[in-house]
Amino acid sequence: MAGKSDIAADAQTSHPTIEPPPSLQAATDFWRRYLTLSTVIFCGFVALGSAGPFQSLYAVSLGATLGQVALLAGGYTSIALLAGLAWGRWADGPGRRKWMMVGGMCLLGAVHLASALVPHWEWLVPLRFIEGLAIPAHQVASMAMMGDLLAGHPNRPRLISAYRMSGSLAFSVAIVASGALSQAIGYAGSYVVATVVFAIGAATAATLPTAVSVDIANPGTTPPRIGFGELLTGPMRPVLILALAFGLPFSMVYSVWPIWIANELGLGQATYSRLWGLAAFAEVPFMLAAGWMIGRAGAPRTFTLGLVAFAAVYCVYLINPPVESLFLAQVIRGLGFAAYTATSLTMAIELAPATARGRAAGLYQSAQGLAQITGNWIGPPLAGAIGFRPIYGIAAVAVLCGAAYALRIAKPTPEI
């Protein structure tokens, strides 16, 4: 009887909770966090695609001149340039990146809602400056968290390309839809849509854990702190130079390109939005292909492909082609942008340890901001002085110089 009682007792106490193996649980957590971060960037690009491409047109509709458009664009990028460095340093503190993302997207939503209600372009000046503070907070934090999550992953380039591809897909859908929306209810309606989507992105980001992963390569040791100087003069220098070579002519051209397409060529808002949306749609498959190419051909050749593609696009703009050629140019633009973006983002994420990922992300964003501020300041006044087409010729020469530099780089992409 005693033996039977022991057996019965054992039977009652031997029903352990079935839990997934640690490796399966880790994989589930990884993909949940990866998809959450991808959803956040998707929301961010939907919001930016809803309102961002129409900022210059919206300002003009509220009474701004080309020079005043330059003030808005240049002031925004000036703030973003400095804010990216400050947010990068702050993001390297423990537990801050998640709430930087959430707070940045909430502030962006508030700014876009206020922008939809302004009666005159002067009100856009402080709002654009606040946006310059908010957007690098969101971008630096999300980039650093993705770097944390993908640390040591064998398929890092492809995962980074797919992550950025979700942004391109979101932007393309948003800009095509918002073109029709802006014609139906005005530019202000696009800003309201952006407000709602930023709120969804903030709520999604709030579901992330404070830390998405922990580096354990050297347990029990304190990783060295790496400052901006070491990052700037170290292996990040080539990617920062190429960011300027790409970003300056890009910003110079596309600060006035919407006005050239919609007003100068008389193609209207709908054609403009379709052209921009086509380029963003083209980025989607090209972004995945770029991730594969980085691993096969190396970063310098991938950079070169992107810059040469943009030189071809600018040359098409230069010769004043028919509308059909503009659509073909936008497909090539999608190829070039994907090749550049996938390579630069992969390298920027890879080139710093966990203690400096925020700084690396801030430096990368600020390098792009420096290119944007320069291009945005000189693009509209230069277009007013010499016309649109000479700007396209200057941009083609600039990116070809960047392509030559990319080919000259001997150092391969770090092992991944």
pLDDT by residue (tens digit) across 189-228?
888 888 999 999 999 999 998 876 644 444 444 555 677 7
Instruction: Report pLDDT for 7.
Output: 45
Of 223, 217, 164, 215, whose CA–CA distance to 34 is shortest? 164
Taking the C-alpha atoms of residue 56 and residue 70, their distance in angstroms, rounded to an integer, is: 9
Taking the C-alpha atoms of residue 367 and residue 361, their distance in angstroms, rounded to an integer, is: 10
Across 283-318, b (16+ Cβ under 10 Å) vs e yields bbebbbebbebbbeebbbbbbbbbbbbbbbbbbbbb
Amino acid letter for position 139: Q
Taking the C-alpha atoms of residue 82 and residue 365, their distance in angstroms, rounded to an integer, is: 10
Cα 329 off chain centre by: 22
Across 113-152, b (16+ Cβ under 10 Å) vs e yields bbbbebeebeebbebbbbbbbbbbbbbbbbbbbbbbbbbe
Q: Which residue has the tokens 């998809």?
A: 35
Residues near 97 by beta carbon (within 8 Å), at least 6 away in sequence: 91, 141, 142, 144, 145, 148, 358
Determine which helix (DSSP H) or strand (DSSP E) holds 153, and give its type and residue range. none
Q: Which residue has the tokens 């979700």?
A: 166
Phi, psi of 412 (to 5 degrees): -75, 170
Taking the C-alpha atoms of residue 170 and residue 52, their distance in angstroms, rounded to an integer, is: 13
Model pTM score: 0.75
Q: Are 338 and 306 in contact (CB under 8 A)?
A: yes
Taking the C-alpha atoms of residue 314 and residue 331, their distance in angstroms, rounded to an integer, is: 13
Cα 274 off chain centre by: 20
User: Alpha helices of 351-387 — where are they, by DSSP H?
Assistant: 357-386
Of 397, 396, 391, whose CA–CA distance to 66 is shortest? 391
Cα 272 off chain centre by: 21
**Low-confidence stretches of the chain (pLDDT beneath 50):** 1-2, 4-21, 214-221, 410, 412-416
What architecture is domain 34-212+226-408?
A: Up-down Bundle (1.20)
Residues near 208 by beta carbon (within 8 Å), at least 6 away in sequence: 33, 36, 37, 98, 101, 145
User: What separation in angstroms does the CA of 256 have from each of 134, 247, 251, 361?
Assistant: 24, 15, 9, 28
Of 162, 148, 193, 70, whose CA–CA distance to 358 is shortest? 148
**333: helix, strand or coil:** helix
Amino acid letter for position 13: T
Q: Are 18 and 133 in contact (CB under 8 A)?
A: no
